């Protein structure tokens, strides 16, 4: 009788070990479906940019208040200029195959202590730079900071951590050079590049201002394409040539063992309601995003230019592929709630969509 008890106990013990091992395998397999919370490694097989917008039902989904951020310019402060609705602030981006870690400013500063981060580009870079600075400031409102603007560079330093976050404004990445005929957009020239070096993270952006026409907003009088000086040319062709010059500069000058490289994807506009199947509308009056994972119209043509140029580069540049998820946010522009009360369907309210861009940047940095 005792033999059978011992024998049964032995097999029960083996069965228990097998059950525990099986549970561990299930747990390991399950863990591949969910991203660990806070600053842990993301899943390598997660596409951060494929997903949909969902309502955030947490009690406080906002990462900061525009009225308390000292770095926020009025042009993006929709609340200050009377935007009455707030639902656009309650949407969170949910990737299909993972969950994004929440952004914690103190974690970010600790991870990048003593480092320099620079955004290089146009007014959409300004949108993103202000967003990141405000997100961090809200986490540590009593942190010692300095804020300066000099020689086209805006700088925020979180002094207790030695973290510098800068914006270098250059709408085309290539140079606009003063010549006898006027201001010339020179597609094969980058003279400001040395200012971009010696940063630990570089986030580049361009396109928005390539489309502008007219004396006041175009920014140049002629285009120099090699030896040819022309009054105008196809803007996509010009963008491709200018971006190729930038790519060559990066390949020749940036040490990617020391500097992480990002390209902020094309930010869409919402001036044509037909794009989301509502002709005669613009972003003005829109109060909710396009729901679901797809947009009625294709990606804008410059996304192909960016993809082609990045694919042919020698150095690895991470594309923050924000275009589709931003296309879905027809509700997130300042529209008439700006300082000049125009209808801005190009830039984005802050707080707002650029906060998600920075959450995705943070996720990419910890993958």
- Give pLDDT tens digits for 96-121: 989 898 899 999 999 999 999 999 99
Domain count, the chain: 1
Judge whether 32 lies within some domain: no
Give the 3-state secondary structure of the chain. Answer: CHHHHHHHHHHHHHHHHHHHHHHHHHHHHHHCCCCCCCCCCCCCCCCCCCEEEEECCCCCCCCCCHHHCCCCCHHHCCCCCCCCCCHHHHEEEEECCCCCCCCCHHHHHHHCCCCEEEEEECHHHHHHHHHHHHHHHHHCCCCCEEEEEECCEEEEEECCCCEEEEEEECCCCCEEEEECCEEEEECCCCCCHHHHCCCCEEEECCCHHHHCCCHHHHCCCEEEECCEEECCCCHHHHHHHHHHHHHHHHHHHCCCCCCEEEEECCCCCCCCHHHHCCCCCCCCCCCCCCCCCCCCCCCCCHHHHHHHHHHCCCCCCEEECCHHHHHCCCCCCCECCCCCCCCECCCCCCCCHHHHHHHHHHHHHCC
**Angle ∠(15,19,24) on CA atoms, nearest 5:** 150
Judge whether 35 lies within some domain: no
Judge whether 13 lies within some domain: no
Judge whether 61 lies within some domain: no
Judge whether 325 lies within some domain: yes
Judge whether 159 lies within some domain: yes
Active site residues: 123, 344, 347
Give the pTM. 0.88
Judge whether 67 lies within some domain: no
pLDDT tens, per residue, the chain with 367 residues: 444 444 444 444 444 444 444 433 322 232 333 333 333 454 467 899 999 999 988 766 689 999 999 999 899 999 999 999 999 999 999 999 898 988 999 999 999 999 999 999 999 999 999 999 999 999 999 999 999 999 889 999 999 999 999 999 999 999 999 999 999 999 999 999 999 999 999 999 999 999 999 878 899 999 999 999 999 999 999 999 999 999 999 999 999 999 999 999 999 999 999 999 999 999 999 999 999 899 999 999 999 999 999 999 999 999 999 999 999 999 999 999 998 889 999 999 999 999 999 999 999 998 8
Judge whether 143 lies within some domain: yes
Domain that holds residue 227: 76-365
């Amino acid at each position: 009788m005792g033999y059978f008890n011992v024998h049964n106990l032995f097999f029960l013990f083996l069965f228990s070990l097998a059950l525990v091992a099986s549970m561990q395998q299930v747990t390991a397999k399950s863990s591949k479906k969910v991203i660990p919370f806070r600053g842990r490694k993301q899943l390598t097989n997660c596409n951060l940019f494929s997903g949909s917008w969902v309502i955030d039902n947490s009690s406080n989904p906002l990462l900061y208040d525009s009225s308390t951020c000292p770095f926020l310019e009025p042009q993006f402060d929709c609340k200050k200029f009377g935007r009455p609705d707030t639902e656009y602030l309650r949407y969170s981006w949910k990737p299909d195959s993972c969950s994004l870690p929440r952004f914690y400013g103190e974690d970010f500063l600790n991870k990048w202590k003593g480092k320099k981060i620079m955004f290089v580009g146009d007014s959409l870079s300004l949108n993103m730079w202000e967003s990141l600075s405000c997100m961090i400031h809200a986490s540590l409102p009593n942190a010692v900071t300095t804020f300066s603007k000099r020689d086209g560079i805006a700088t925020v330093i979180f002094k207790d951590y030695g973290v510098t976050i800068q914006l270098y404004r250059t709408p085309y990445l290539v140079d606009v050079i003063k010549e006898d005929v006027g201001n010339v957009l020179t597609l094969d020239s980058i003279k400001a590049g040395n200012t971009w070096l010696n940063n630990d993270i570089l986030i580049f952006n361009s396109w928005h201002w390539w489309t502008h026409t007219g004396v006041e907003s175009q920014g140049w009088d002629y285009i120099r394409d090699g030896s040819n000086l022309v009054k105008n040319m196809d803007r996509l062709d010009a963008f491709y040539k200018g971006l190729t010059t930038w790519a060559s500069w990066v390949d020749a000058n940036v040490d990617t063992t020391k500097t992480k490289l990002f390209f902020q994807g094309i930010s869409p506009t919402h001036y044509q309601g037909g794009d989301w199947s509502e002709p005669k509308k613009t972003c003005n009056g829109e109060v909710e995003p396009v729901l679901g994972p797809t947009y009625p119209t294709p990606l804008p043509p410059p996304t192909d230019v960016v993809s082609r140029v990045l694919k042919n580069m020698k150095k690895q540049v991470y594309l923050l592929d924000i275009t589709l998820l931003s296309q879905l946010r027809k509700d997130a522009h300042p529209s008439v709630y700006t300082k000049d009360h125009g209808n801005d369907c190009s830039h984005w309210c802050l707080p707002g969509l650029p906060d998600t861009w920075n959450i995705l940047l943070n996720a990419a940095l910890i993958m």
